[in-house]
């Protein structure tokens, strides 16, 4: 059995696929990942022993700029990614028995699977973007909804129209070249009748009843056994546990003084600082020895040795910190991150910063909550409730699906 897994997105979209691929291999199947040609992703998948097929532009070329992507950037990227899927996925899926797609709206993946006659499945790492009867859609490039509109059904219909505007023309152009009829609801077409929710039920509960059947597996975690670098080990051993600060691939959305604000707020609490550079290139603000700057490291090994983790609220980082039992301060920027921040606060395992731009005062207050003894105790309790078998659950489901379903070509 062989499965193609594909995504275009940040590390938080690619690492779970590596975890799922390893779980598939453990069950005796083959897995290949089709992902952006990012050096970080190539190294990640190579470490996991998973073959990779590159497609599309690098993510860093789109998001790691001094400004967020414009609407024109979004429409250009949508067309480019649809074209890249139709160009790359057919060959990558050769000999495969199923295709799973995730990341930024993977328009084109289902169409390739249907053309090849293999089962298709969408996966998501959060509920952001899934039609709901309880919350409105998030922001998406295109014509915005009226500020006065409150009817959720109307708002989600308008969201579907924005998806059509982004992806409809390029998708249907490529479908026509294959002799396939046009799609009039791209969002519904990509979602299908059912999808996998690769998120922990405690961190991301889903009780919504919509047309889409959502199968929640738990988060897809890639085991990481790498040791920490010697100089980082020395810093950790030299004093009390520091506060970790990292914003992953979030770069264009961050305020330029976020590192200085974080360092000052942490020092105000008498704590040492561990800065992760990330794609924003965070760096020390002086030469004091209470601050250490690191590159990409094993967060699974690191988070158990810090006093708190200050981050952007990506689903992967939130899950890793929760599993480690470390209190969190979440400064959300985009997409599902405000939801993750609110969930951390609701569970009592950290603080949700109000808004994306922290000040010294606001961040100091959030750290006060995270560093309180009761928060640490609660974080330790919750850690034991986070599932670790999500990738295996999903792998078994996919293999069962591939064995049962053979859609017509």
Decide if pLDDT at 3 tops 60: yes
Distances (CA, A) of 250 to 51, 127, 196: 26, 20, 25
Q: Is the pTM of this model over 0.85?
A: yes
Decide if pLDDT at 275 tops 80: yes
Same domain, 198 and 212: yes
- CB proximity list for 165: less than 8 A, separation 6 or greater: 142, 143
Same domain, 146 and 211: yes
The partner residues of 8 in beta bridges, in order of sequence, read: 103
Same domain, 329 and 244: yes
Averaged over 59-69, what is the pLDDT? 81
In whole angstroms, give the CA distance from residue 377 to residue 380: 5
Report which DSSP code applies to 126: S
pLDDT at 63: 81
pLDDT at 407: 52
In whole angstroms, give the CA distance from residue 108 to residue 7: 12
On whether residue 409 sits in a domain, the answer given is no
Residue 230 structure tokens: 């010697």
Decide if pLDDT at 10 tops 70: yes
Same domain, 351 and 238: yes
Residue of 264, 382, 271 lying closest to 322 (CA atoms): 382
Total number of domains constituting the chain: 2
Same domain, 192 and 243: no
| Enclosing domain of residue 374 | 230-383
Would strands 273-276 and 291-294 be described as parallel, antiparallel, or unpaired? parallel
- The strand ranges marked E within 255-400 are 273-276, 291-294, 308-311, 328-330, 350-352
Averaged over 313-325, what is the pLDDT? 97
Mean pLDDT of the chain: 95
Same domain, 247 and 192: no
The partner residues of 100 in beta bridges, in order of sequence, read: 5, 121
Residue of 63, 15, 82, 35 lying closest to 335 (CA atoms): 63
pLDDT at 68: 78
The partner residues of 35 in beta bridges, in order of sequence, read: 54
pLDDT at 253: 80
Decide if pLDDT at 283 tops 80: yes
Same domain, 68 and 153: yes
Count other Cβ atoms within 10 Å, centred on residue 134.
Answer: 10
Same domain, 302 and 343: yes
Task: Report helix angle 373-383 to 315-324, nearest 10.
Answer: 100
Q: In the sheet that 213-216 helps form, which strands lie side by side, from edge to edge?
A: 52-54, 30-35, 2-8, 98-103, 120-124, 194-197, 213-216
pLDDT at 69: 83
pLDDT tier, 254 (very low <50, low <70, confident <90, very high otherwise): confident
Identify the CATH number of the domain in which residue 268 sits: 3.40.50.2000
- End-to-end CA gap in the chain: 19
Averaged over 255-266, what is the pLDDT? 95
The answer to whether 388 and 203 have CB atoms below 8 angstroms apart is no
On whether residue 148 sits in a domain, the answer given is yes
On whether residue 254 sits in a domain, the answer given is yes
Most confident of the ranges 207-211, 215-219, 334-338: 215-219
For the chain, the maximum distance between any two Cα atoms, rounded to a whole number of angstroms, is 66
Would strands 350-352 and 98-103 be described as parallel, antiparallel, or unpaired? unpaired
pLDDT at 212: 85
The pLDDT tens digits for 352-391 are: 999 999 999 999 999 999 999 999 999 999 999 999 999 9
Distances (CA, A) of 367 to 87, 315, 337: 48, 20, 18
pLDDT at 406: 59
Decide if pLDDT at 396 tops 60: yes
Same domain, 257 and 158: no
- CB proximity list for 128: less than 8 A, separation 6 or greater: 138, 335, 336, 339
Question: Considering the chain, what percentage of its residues have pLDDT values greater than 90?
Answer: 89
Same domain, 379 and 392: no
pLDDT at 204: 96
Decide if pLDDT at 408 tops 70: no
Decide if pLDDT at 112 tops 70: yes
pLDDT at 239: 98
Same domain, 261 and 192: no
Averaged over 291-301, what is the pLDDT? 97
pLDDT tier, 209 (very low <50, low <70, confident <90, very high otherwise): low
Burial class (CB in 10 A: 0-12, 13-18, 19+), 184: exposed
Same domain, 206 and 150: yes
pLDDT tier, 243 (very low <50, low <70, confident <90, very high otherwise): very high
């Amino acid at each position: 059995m062989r499965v193609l897994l594909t995504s275009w997105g940040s590390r938080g979209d690619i690492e779970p696929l590596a975890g799922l691929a390893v779980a598939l291999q453990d069950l005796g199947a083959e897995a290949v990942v089709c992902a952006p040609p990012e050096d970080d992703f190539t190294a990640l998948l190579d470490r996991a022993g998973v073959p990779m097929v590159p497609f599309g532009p690098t993510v860093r070329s789109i998001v790691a700029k001094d400004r967020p992507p414009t609407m024109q950037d979004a429409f250009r990227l949508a067309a480019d990614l649809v074209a890249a899927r139709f160009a790359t996925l057919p060959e990558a899926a050769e000999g495969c028995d199923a295709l799973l797609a995730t990341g930024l709206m993977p328009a084109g993946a289902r169409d390739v699977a249907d053309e090849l006659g293999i089962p298709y499945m969408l996966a998501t790492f959060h509920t952001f973007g899934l039609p709901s009867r309880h919350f409105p859609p998030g922001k998406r490039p295109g014509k915005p909804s009226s500020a006065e509109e409150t009817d959720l059904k109307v708002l989600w219909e308008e969201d579907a129209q924005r998806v059509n505007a982004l992806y409809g023309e390029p998708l249907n152009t490529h479908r026509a070249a294959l002799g396939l009829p046009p799609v009039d609801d791209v969002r519904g077409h990509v979602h299908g009748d059912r999808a996998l929710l690769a998120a922990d039920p405690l961190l991301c509960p889903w009780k919504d009843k919509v047309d889409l059947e959502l199968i929640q597996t738990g988060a897809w975690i890639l085991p990481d056994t790498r040791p920490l670098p010697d100089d980082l080990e020395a810093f950790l051993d030299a004093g009390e546990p520091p506060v970790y600060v990292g914003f992953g691939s979030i770069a264009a959305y961050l305020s330029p003084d976020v590192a200085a604000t974080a360092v000052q707020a942490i020092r105000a609490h008498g704590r040492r600082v561990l800065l992760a550079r990330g794609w924003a290139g965070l760096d020390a603000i002086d030469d004091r020895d209470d601050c250490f700057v690191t590159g990409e490291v094993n967060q699974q090994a690191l988070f158990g040795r810090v006093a708190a983790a200050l981050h952007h609220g990506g689903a992967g980082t939130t899950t890793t910190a929760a599993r480690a039992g470390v209190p969190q301060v979440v400064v959300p920027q985009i997409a599902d991150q405000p939801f993750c921040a609110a969930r951390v606060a609701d569970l009592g395992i950290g603080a949700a910063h109000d808004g994306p731009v922290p000040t010294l005062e606001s961040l100091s207050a959030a750290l006060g909550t995270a560093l309180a003894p009761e928060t640490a105790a609660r974080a330790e309790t919750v850690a034991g409730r986070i599932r670790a078998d999500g990738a295996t659950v999903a792998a078994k489901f996919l293999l069962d699906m591939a064995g049962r379903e053979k859609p017509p070509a």
